[in-house]
Chains A and B, each alone.
Chain A
Amino acid sequence: GENVEQHPSTLSVQEGDSAVIKCTYSDSASNYFPWYKQELGKGPQLIIDIRSNVGEKKDQRIAVTLNKTAKHFSLHITETQPEDSAVYFCAASRTNFGNEKLTFGTGTRLTIIP
């Protein structure tokens, strides 16, 4: 089955700086990669996703890049703000093999230092 590794497990950055979280996956057939943000006391919430037919996707201060050859994808947050502090999860799945479940990483706790 799919295995997703996520690094780092914790990350602290100064407000205004950029944050990068990296994930690797094992199944070369995986083609859908969402990122979820979990704030304290809440469930995870989808913030951005990317499919394997594109290498990069951007939504305001958030971007995701995908390297299919190396089987890794990354979340980039620019101009970080205190409200970006949360736990971020990457995930991977194969969507063209029927109902394939999402396999999640172990999460990154991001702290923005004011």
Chain B
Amino acid sequence: ETGVTQTPRHLVMGMTNKKSLKCEQHLGHNAMYWYKQSAKKPLELMFVYSLEERVENNSVPSRFSPECPNSSHLFLHLHTLQPEDSALYLCASSQEQFSYNEQFFGPGTRLTVL
């Protein structure tokens, strides 16, 4: 295992629901990331946190709300999602936020929006 865990692994929700995705890293890293992975599209970086501070928000709709209470935990709060938001959501961490640091990915949460 990579040392990055994600829960739940699968989630089905309606457009009016509110749910949260959880990520935890056991590697002592300072940076954490949320990515969206859709079929036949490149991984899309959504958010970057460094030392619990958000350093990047890649024009993500406000229906996605990240939270980083400490350097080991990262959440993605979801509300009023659309069917096109169905995808695999990957969490990753790295020692520092710089791109040349190896990113360790969790297994992802497969999200289906009905």
Name the contact of A101 in the complex, choosing from B56, B105, B106 (C-beta under 8 A). B56
Do A101 and B48 form a contact, CB below 8 Å, given A32-B100, A43-B2?
yes
Chain A, interface size category, equals 20 to 34
Interface contact B102-A46, CB-CB below 8 Å: yes
Most interface-central of B40, B98, B104 (chain A CB within 10 A): B98
**Docked-complex contact A45 and B99, CB < 8 angstroms:** no
* B24 smallest CB distance to A (angstroms): 14
- What total of chain B residues lie within 8 Å of the partner, measured CB to CB? 25
The answer to whether A105 and B105 touch (CB under 8 A), given A99-B97, A99-B99, is no
A93 surroundings in chain B (CB, below 8 A):
99-100
> If A43-B108, A44-B105, A99-B56 touch, does A9 touch B99 (CB 8 Å cutoff)?
no
Interface residues of A (CB under 8 A from B): 4, 9, 32, 34, 36, 41-46, 49, 51, 89, 93-95, 99-107
